[in-house]
Amino acid sequence: MTVIQVVFFLVAAFTTAAAFLVVLAKNIVHCAIALVFTFFGVAALYVLLDAEFLAAVQVLLYVGGITILLLFAIMLTSRISARGVRVMNEQVGMSAVVVFAIFALLAIASLKGFALVGSPPPASYATASLGRLLLTTYVLPFEAVSILLLAAMVGAIILARREREKD
Amino acid sequence: MVPLSHYLILSAVLFAIGMFGALTRRNAIGILMALELMFNAVNLNFVAFSRYLPSTMLQGQIFAIFVITIAAAEAAVGLAIVLGLYRNFKTINVDEINLMKW
């Protein structure tokens, strides 16, 4: 086993454990904290895959943005001290079966379908060509996504705003 | 080097965990968190495939960027909806919000 493989297995175990905590923890704040660790684990995997730009975006956007948003929503909605409340609904058994079936399908497909894929090409620092692609070939989706973000921002503000009493 | 299938299996594990959370959580914010997990699993798949293609083909990473952007928009709108729900129902447990269910 090379060093890279050891690092991969460590990061994978860490990420999986944190993901389990996100889903199973009783306290929703603990879930959010575990989610931060999961995001960091995935960012580390991006680094292992030579996608440095995506790793940076992951940390900035997910760890810095979405988690803060989630924590704010938790503070605004739930009574954090509420204990003894059921976390899961009644579908646990059925969901476990369905999820396991889907996981088995995905695992078999990944093992059988891509067994012949060889070693990856030598690493290249892709960030520059990523930016070039985004502003040439993919400039139309890029602009569309920017409009979508604007619409989502306006929509979120309108939805979250407290309604004024009508005069 | 780590084989491609290892990344795919890890991504499948993350996806399954996220799906389990999305199906079983009662708290709407918990469901959103599970959704973010699933987005991350998909992104990991995209980036892993992109790494194992010739290095001029970066479509996987481009798609991952778009997924991250749309996930951010989804989180903002979703949390705004959760706030609206809380204001109207005083709860965000999705199994108690069954006004339109018969």
The answer to whether A8 and B5 are in contact (CB under 8 A) is no
Residues A67, B29 contacting (CB under 8 angstroms): no
Q: What is the mean pLDDT of residues B64-92?
A: 90
Domain of residue B32, residue span:
4-89
Question: Burial letters for A38-56: b for 16+ Cβ neighbours within 10 Å, e otherwise?
Answer: bbbbbbbbbebbbbebbbe
CA distance B31 to chain A (A): 9
pLDDT at position A167 is 53
Of A80 and A136, more confident:
A136
Which pLDDT band holds residue A8 (cuts at 50, 70, 90)?
Answer: very high
Q: What confidence score (pLDDT) does residue B53 get? A: 86
Nearest by CB to A138, from B62, B75, B81: name it.
Answer: B62
Give start and end residues of each alpha helix (H) in chain B: 4-24, 28-51, 59-89
Query: Cα–Cα distances in Å, from A89 out to A52, B23, B24, B28?
Result: 39, 8, 5, 12
Asked whether residue B19 is assigned to any structural domain, the reply reads yes
Domain boundaries, chain A: 1-85, 126-167
> How many Å is the Cα radius of gyration of chain B?
17
Q: Give A84 to chain B, closest Cα distance, Å.
A: 13
| pLDDT surpassing 60 at residue A160 | yes
Number of independent structural domains in chain B: 1
B99 domain residue, yes or no: no
| Topology of domain A1-85, CATH | Four Helix Bundle (Hemerythrin (Met), subunit A) (1.20.120)
Q: How confident is the model at residue A165 (pLDDT cuts 50, 70, 90)?
A: low
- Those residues whose C-beta lies under 8 Å from the C-beta of residue B74, and which sit 6 or more positions away, are A152, B35
Q: Using one digit for the tens of pLDDT, what is the confidence trace for B10-20? A: 999 999 999 99
Distance CA A140, CA A152 (A): 18
Is B68 within the bounds of a domain? yes
* Average pLDDT in chain A: 88
Report residue A83's pLDDT band, with 50, 70 and 90 as the boundaries: low
Structure-model confidence comparison of residues B72 and B99, the more confident one = B72
| Per-residue model confidence as pLDDT tens digits over A86-135 | 778 788 899 999 999 999 999 999 888 887 777 777 777 778 888 999 99
Residues in A closer than 8 angstroms to B88, CB to CB, are none
Query: And the tokens for B85?
Result: 């729900």
pLDDT at A155 over 70: yes
pLDDT tens by residue, A37-69: 999 999 999 999 989 999 999 999 999 889 999
Q: How far apart are CA A30 and CA B30, in angstroms?
A: 11
Report ipTM (2 d.p.). Answer: 0.92
Q: Over pLDDT 70: what percentage of chain B? A: 99
Q: How far is B99 from chain A (nearest CA, A)?
A: 17
Q: Which residues of A touch B43 (CB under 8 A)?
A: 42, 54
CA distance A148 to B73: 8
| Within a domain: B56 | yes
Band of pLDDT at residue B3, cut at 50, 70 and 90: confident
pLDDT band at A1 (very low <50, low <70, confident <90, very high): confident
Question: Looking at this protein, which amino acid is placed at residue A51?
Answer: A
Does B20 contact A95 at a Cβ distance shorter than 8 Å?
yes
CA dist list (Å): B71 to A152, B38, B39, B43: 11, 10, 7, 11
Contacts of B23 in chain A (CB under 8 A): 91, 95, 98-99
Question: For position A80, what pLDDT does the model report?
Answer: 57
Output the domain CATH number for residue B8: 1.10.287.3510
Give CA separation, B45 vs A1, A36, B57, B59, B95, in Å: 23, 20, 15, 12, 32
Q: Provide the pLDDT for residue A38.
A: 95
Query: What does the pLDDT read at residue A166?
Result: 57
Whole-angstrom Cα distance, residue A34 to residue A137?
A: 37
Name the residue facing A23 among B20, B29, B74 (closest C-beta): B20
Spatial separation of the C-alpha atoms in residues B69 and A51, rounded to whole Å: 17
Look at A164 and B97; give whichever has higher pLDDT. Answer: B97
